[in-house]
Chains A and B, each alone.
Chain A
Amino acid sequence: MLVHDWLQTSEGAEILRSISSADGSRLRSYGLLERPVLPASASMEDAHYKLVVVGKSGVGKTSTIVHLSGHGLTSVHCETAGIQTTKMYWPVKIAHLNKKVLMNLTFWDAGEITLKKFDHILPACKSGVDAVIFVFSFVDKGSWEEIPHLMTQLTDPDDQLAKIVIGTKFDQFSHSEVSQRELRDFELRWNIPIVKICNTPTATSGTGLSDIITVMNNICELLWERDVQKAEAV
């Protein structure tokens, strides 16, 4: 549904540049009172989405969000206290409508410990949510095995939520505890795509935004698909 290589065209690249840092290595981060200043020629519609990020403690939920949103990476794992939400913008072009849309994504991330201890955290994350992002680590088998449980716990077949699985620490793929076959079987069985990411500063240096383009396009495509399906259902 999305034009996947649109961001490589001059039009797409210009828009992406306008929301990137000066050196083009990451996205700019915006405060709640700020908004991207897009090129004058670009007229874009806004679409707002709430995404909740779940997965075993320590798999890299916060790192993934920090990486995607361009906040700069931290090397040490910290348990997240309470809820953190991160707003980011991503431009896409919808193929069948020939329309450009600026996706306003808000990622909701809650630390596992506070999630278990305080009752109000999970409902706050789930209310009005559009998508669930399940995160596992390639070097932690337990986190992979937990995905189906989380899936049944947080979603049901007709909730019309967009679902995506992200595998982190892909740079350590040679030590992967999850086999290609398992990934393939999972994708077939649940019909949910798995995207891979590495959130280490060294693995991402010099590549500019190319490492996040696939992930972001995948997420946005699912969100758009879900909107279309929802509209059709009505």
Chain B
Amino acid sequence: MDGLYLICVTSGSGLPVFTRSVGNVKQLPFPVIGSLNAVHMFAANHEAELKSTATEDARIVWKEFHDSLVLIAVHCGNGRVVDCELERLLDRTWAAMVLLYGLEELRQIRNVERFKREIKVCHPLIDTLLRRVELPVFSDVTGAVEGVLASEATALQNFLEAFVEAADTPYGCLLSHGRLVGATAKWWDLSATELVLLSLLGLSFSPCSCRDVPIYLPDKSPTVPHRLMTFKLMAHVEVWVICGPTPSLSQLEMEIARFWVAAVDTLHQVRQIHPRNFPASIDVDNNILGFILINAATHHSVTSVDVRREGKDSGELRGRREALREFYGSVWDSQMGGPVTEEASTDVKHTITDSYTVYSSHKCYAHICGNYQIFVLFSSKIPTYAMRNVCKKTLDAFVKDKSVMI
């Protein structure tokens, strides 16, 4: 398996802060970390910025943030990886550190030893970012937060609105299996980075009933902390709010039953939609094994690799996720433009709306229509000429279904 390291050193002095890794890889020896920092610093001293390099078996990307810290990503193995993917990982890692530690504190590190201890609070989230293909979601590559499409969402929205009012905040959302079922208008106003990081933060937490976590919003409030409070209503269903100093966790917890007990049956129904993630009213072609559907305007997406609830084993589902990721990476990063968080690539004068690849074991098709992007994984049984039509019909089915919002 491919290995991936993420190294953080201080700018200038080059003191190692942390190294996180995934895959079957050895710990990086100190001299290697030292050299990685040294070549970057050598370039900087000659007024050049070293951005990336490739060796026979590794690809390395550097990025310095606020003259304070340098993050280095090292990818080794045979798997395909492009620089912009690693750059994106470094940007996300930085944002993750801001989210849990605060921009001001990252800019002005007074005591490195203390900082090394304190930044540990970010490790679970950074490790989650590094898991990539092991993640149950695609948000880390698409830059769009994942949702569950449910016709019950409108009814639940009322419960959510009432609850956030009691919490005295405009920010709230409801999650099932870590995917958004509904959120307040203000929550959707959060930047794409914030939306995605918060949802990945949810995957990084250890299980519990309630949380009260100090967070900084990397784009909206990087220096002033807020409180993220989460409440587990039932297994796999949580409600989240972002608050100021009040109310306290116990105060709000006491309100849970009052505001949510009438929603229990509806929540049960919504929980059942996983792992399909969209309602039975939407019919999809039998050749479709999985898909990613993104609304680039709202940074909202719905994805599924188990569209017919076939009860496939986890290995098969993981394979589908891997195939979709691979296809997304190959067409999006190199052909169809940057990820949804960035401006579309300007090098290409005409817009590509369709792209497909036929692999030995499956076929993939990407189609863009306005703000909507759909990436579909097909079984190889589908005739290649039919993919475009099926993609368009599938996208139409989602967009036109009045009971759900994507």
Contact = CB atoms under 8 A, between A and B. Distances in A.
B54 interface: no
B233 A118 contact: no
A31 B237 contact: yes
B245 to A, nearest CB: 7
B225 interface: yes
Contact of A33 (B118, B204, B206, B233): B233
Interface string B203-245: 0111111111110000000000101100111110100000001
A109 B210 CA distance: 10
B257 interface: yes
Contact of B123 (A29, A79, A87, A124): A79
Q: Is the interface of A mostly helix, strand, loop or mixed?
A: loop
Contacts of A74: 206
A5 B117 CA distance: 44
In this complex, the interface size class of chain B, counting residues with CB under 8 Å from chain A, is 35 or more
Interface string A122-133: 001001100000
A82 B211 contact: yes
A72 interface: yes
A8 interface: no
Given A81-B100, A84-B211, A124-B249, A31 B232 contact: yes
Which among B210, B228, B245 has the greatest number of chain A C-beta atoms within 10 A? B210
B212 A34 contact: no
A117 B118 contact: yes
Contacts of B185: none
B256 A33 contact: yes
Q: Is the interface of B mostly helix, strand, loop or mixed?
A: mixed
B232 A124 contact: no
A84 B120 contact: no
Contact of B208 (A57, A78, A85, A118): A85
B250 A128 contact: yes
Interface string A5-35: 0000000000000000000000001111110
Interface in B70-129: 100, 117-118, 120-121, 123-124
A66 interface: yes
Contacts of B205: 84
Interface in A103-155: 106, 109, 111, 113-114, 117-118, 120-121, 124, 127-128
Contacts of B245: 120
Contacts of A85: 208-211, 249, 253
B248 interface: yes
B232 A80 contact: no
A84 B208 contact: yes
Given A32-B231, A79-B120, A117-B118, 8 more contacts: A32-B233, A83-B249, A85-B209, A113-B117, A114-B121, A114-B214, A117-B214, A127-B248
Interface of B: 100, 117-118, 120-121, 123-124, 204-214, 225, 227-228, 231-235, 237, 245, 248-250, 253, 256-257, 260-261, 264, 267
